[in-house]
Structure 1
Amino acid sequence: MASPKQTPTDPPPIYYHPLPPEDQPQNYIIILPHHPSTRSRRRLWRRILLWTTSLLIAAAAVYLLWPSDPELSIVRLSLDRLKIRVLPSPSLDITLDLVVKIRNRDFYSIDYESVIVGIGYRGKQLGVATSAHGHVRARASSYINATLVLDGVEVLSDAILLLEDLVKGVIPFDTVSMIRGRIGLFFFEIPIEAKVSCEVEVNTDNQTVVRQNCYPE
């Protein structure tokens, strides 16, 4: 019987190139890592410094030019007249002279329409004093005088406490100050409204404010 026909197998593929002979010249390419020059690094740092400085200047400008509410405080509260009536019911006749300080912290002026100050005693509102319109220059303060006249204010529940405060020589008052106006920012007018509540203690001997605790609302 004849043996089966054998087919020659193909040679395996070659994945490399044979080395050239020693007598043949060889050329090599050497790639070195690239390092930026000193001048290029200086330019990069200058750009980073310029951008950082620009951002800081822009943030400072926004912080300085952003409008803020004015500060209100009672710098003087004089008790000019105080009369206690017993009949027909316990009541008070009071005349108060107020000096309100408006402090403008912004770099532009404020034109206010009015300043309203409410006076209370131990949670009971006694009356309201209103001032006329005015103007406060940039980064400056303005003082407003107002007089509050109250006749026949009933203090049925606080008559005894008021007598005790008069004996002590210090009367606590509650004040609520409010300002309405507008800010002139370049070619625009921005409306503002600030409200501050204060706890004020007045010395009845020299009629001065001995303590004041204010907080914005």
Structure 2
Amino acid sequence: MAESENTDSSMFHQPLLSETQPQSSENVEVLAPFPPAYHRGGLSKSCRCGVISCAIALIFLVASFVLLWPSKPQLSIVQLSLNGLGFHTVPSISLDVKLKLTVQVRNQDFYSIKYDWLNVTIDYRGQNLANATSEGGLVNARSSSYVNATLDVDAVEVLSDVVMLVEDVAAGEITLDTESKIGGKIIFFFFDLPLKATISCQVIANMTNETVSSQNCYPEVHL
């Protein structure tokens, strides 16, 4: 009987499972969701295409404007001849000069040039001997125009450098300076751009055969 009680007692006091079970040491990481792919570039694909298209169009516009901007026309003397050259000492020291010249206005652009006047002067050592004015005209696109002018100096008294004039005549050659000026405008779309062109020439005239021995010209154009 006592043995059975001891058995029951031992069974009653048998230790139970530990209430504190060891916990697992797993770490849980929470990952934040990535933003949508289309936000990474800052601008959408359609916006980027629009910006590139506008930049290309602007480049083409600037390039076209630069290429189409009018260039300076070319001014040259294509013919210069003496039809008379004389020297007088009575009643005063004077010169007779008859000079004919042809000015070429060459337009290389796709726009027309309208010139209002052509003025030609002839000087001897800084003293003006004569001047002539010709009427204006029109130079079409990609073409040339020729303007004729005649300077007739009839017994013009040389007031300065008389000694130099006598020496030049004795040497058989005198140096004359001519200046041809053109004033007008370039018709550029809806705009009229003012134009002034000048060509200066130094002419060496032969007193014996009354011809031009040589000439050096220097054009100058202002837009």
- Structure 2-normalised TM-score? 0.67
CA drift of 1:102 comes to: 1.2
- Aligned-CA RMSD value: 3.6
Match of 1:5 in 2: none
CA drift of 1:213 comes to: 2.8
Match of 1:84 in 2: 87
Within a 5 Å distance, the mapping from 1:139-150 to structure 2 comes to 139-150=142-153
The letter for the 1-side match of 2:132 is: A
The letter for the 2-side match of 1:210 is: Q
Q: Residues of 2 paired with 1:203 and 1:152: CA distance?
A: 17
Please tell me whether residue 114 in structure 1 is matched to residue 111 in structure 2: no
Q: Residues of 1 paired with 2:87 and 2:122: CA distance?
A: 17
Please list every run of 5 or more consecutive structure 1 residues that lacks an aligned counterpart in the other structure. 1-19
The letter for the 2-side match of 1:142 is: S
Q: State the number of aligned residues.
A: 192
Moved more, 163-172 or 194-203: 163-172
**In 2 relative to 1, CA 173–56 (structure 1 residues): closer, same or farther, beyond 3 Å?**
farther
Please list every run of 5 or more consecutive structure 2 residues that lacks an aligned counterpart in the other structure. 1-22
Is the contact made by 1:174 and 1:197 (CA closer than 8 Å) also made in structure 2?
no
Q: Residues of 1 paired with 2:58 and 2:169: CA distance?
A: 59
Q: Residues of 2 paired with 1:165 and 1:78: CA distance?
A: 19
Is the contact made by 2:203 and 2:212 (CA closer than 8 Å) also made in structure 1?
no
Q: Which has the larger radius of gyration?
A: 2
Please tell me whether residue 212 in structure 1 is matched to residue 217 in structure 2: yes
Q: Residues of 2 paired with 1:183 and 1:45: CA distance?
A: 40
The letter for the 2-side match of 1:201 is: V
Query: Which residue of the other structure, out of 113, 131, 134, is the alignment partner of 2:134?
Result: 131
CA drift of 1:198 comes to: 1.3
Within a 5 Å distance, the mapping from 1:1-217 to structure 2 comes to 22-23=25-26, 25-29=28-32, 48=52, 50-51=53-54, 53-166=56-169, 171-186=174-189, 188=190, 190=192, 192-204=194-206, 206-207=211-212, 209-216=214-221
CA drift of 1:100 comes to: 0.9
**In 2 relative to 1, CA 46–176 (structure 1 residues): closer, same or farther, beyond 3 Å?**
same
The letter for the 2-side match of 1:162 is: L
The letter for the 2-side match of 1:131 is: S
**In 2 relative to 1, CA 177–158 (structure 1 residues): closer, same or farther, beyond 3 Å?**
same
Q: Residues of 2 paired with 1:141 and 1:100: CA distance?
A: 10
Is the contact made by 1:202 and 1:209 (CA closer than 8 Å) also made in structure 2?
yes
Q: Residues of 1 paired with 2:205 and 2:100: CA distance?
A: 14
Moved more, 64-73 or 109-118: 64-73
CA drift of 1:167 comes to: 5.6
Task: Spell out, residue by residue over 1:18-62, the C-alpha distance to the aligned partner (whole angstroms, 9 max, x if none).
Answer: xx9624644334869x776xxx6xx959964x4554333222322
**In 2 relative to 1, CA 61–203 (structure 1 residues): closer, same or farther, beyond 3 Å?**
farther
Q: Residues of 2 paired with 1:201 and 1:67: CA distance?
A: 32
Give the structure with the higher percent helix: 2
- Structure 1-normalised TM-score? 0.69
